[in-house]
Amino acid sequence: MDMVKYCEFCGVKLVEKTFPSGRKAPPSYYQRRRYCKALCARRARAGQTGCSAEGGRKRAQRQFTPTACENCAIRKDLVRHHRDGDTLNNMKANISFLCRSCHTKLEWKAGRYANRPKPQPIRDAITGRFLAMSASAPTAPDTEPSATQSPSPSSNGSENE
């Protein structure tokens, strides 16, 4: 049997059915199978999703063995990346293998870390030399009027009429 199939609901690898007598089911039976057990088939018909996003990631980890980063060809510290962002979509066309560095860069570009502030360089005010990286986003510029600007006297309403 050359064809490898997985349950469409839970992602478990399907194996050939063997009867208690030792006889194997015909190949046509294996080719028609879509689910590992009747429970998965019932849940799929009922429209249940099957698992959480974390479960989808673990399923992808079981199904696909990474070989090398698709961007830089590094062979260590590889992760599986879901191209459409849906971790429950474990189709082969949706999975790419990236090293952690390339994966993080891709996620930043896609805006998936938008709620996390990007680290900003901290520089010495006098020399301009790099000191460290901050853990938070830069603060907004001061909104107070500078020394050259003076507030208008009519704005406070204390003028004599």
Block means of pLDDT (10 residues each) for the chain, 161 residues, are: 78 85 86 85 70 72 84 87 80 87 85 65 79 58 47 48 43
Helix, coil or strand: residue 25? coil
Handedness of CA 84, 53, 11, 95 (dihedral sign): positive
- Whether this prediction's pTM lies above 0.85 is answered by no
DSSP letter assigned to residue 30: H
